[in-house]
Chain A
């Protein structure tokens, strides 16, 4: 079955970088785009953007340009989200998701930014 498995929780200091992975299985990786969604503590879902898994071309939502980078390694069917120059307000759960049909979401990765 289609599955997205994300990397584990991260604790980082302000100014550091983090890279979250999302490994896909159960389908042809290039069949669907991959989206990234942020959920700050106690808040709603916020779409960060998506990456075309055929071309590797990313599209970033407003507010997620500059420090956020989407990338792929198609050889291992994995999408990545890298955040640089981390700030306390980046503390959130980050999800990868298809946002189409009945396809599943990743389980989420908690990134905590604290000194």
Chain B
């Protein structure tokens, strides 16, 4: 079964940059779009990146997404970290018409 693996947690100071990876277990991650969701404690997930690198209206340009075919990975980069960015982040893509979520990454702003 296709899996998306993320680091369990990352932490950084306010104003710094963090990058979260999302590595596909097989196939080519570039073959299907990757979405990224932010989930704050007690709240539903919200989209921060869709279709690999598109930002929904209202999401600051501190959030960006990319694909690296050589490592079969997608990445979410958050620059200029703010305390409000502290949350869990999940990548999501597809495999044979099934949606697959990544394992999730907890971002802590020190």
Contact = CB atoms under 8 A, between A and B. Distances in A.
A55 to B, nearest CB: 15
B52 to A, nearest CB: 12
B56 interface: yes
Interface residues on B, range: 20 to 34
A99 B44 contact: no
B46 A105 contact: yes
Interface string B24-63: 0000000000010101000011110011001011000000
Interface string A40-76: 0000111100100000000101100000000000000
B25 to A, nearest CB: 15
Given A44-B104, A102-B57, A95 B44 contact: yes
Contacts of A59: 97
The SS class assigned to the B binding surface is strand
Contact of B35 (A44, A99, A106, A107): A99
A101 B50 contact: yes
Contacts of B35: 99
Interface of B: 1, 35, 37, 39, 44-47, 50-51, 54, 56-57, 88, 90, 92, 97-104
Nearest to B6: A44
A47 B97 CA distance: 12
Main secondary structure of the interface of A (DSSP, over half): loop
Given A45-B90, A61-B98, A62-B1, A102 B103 contact: no
A107 B104 contact: no
Interface residues of A, number: 22
Interface of A: 35, 37, 44-47, 50, 59, 61-62, 95, 97, 99-108
Contact of B100 (A47, A95, A101, A102): A47
A32 to B, nearest CB: 13
B104 A45 contact: yes
A103 B47 CA distance: 8
A61 B98 CA distance: 7
A102 B44 contact: no
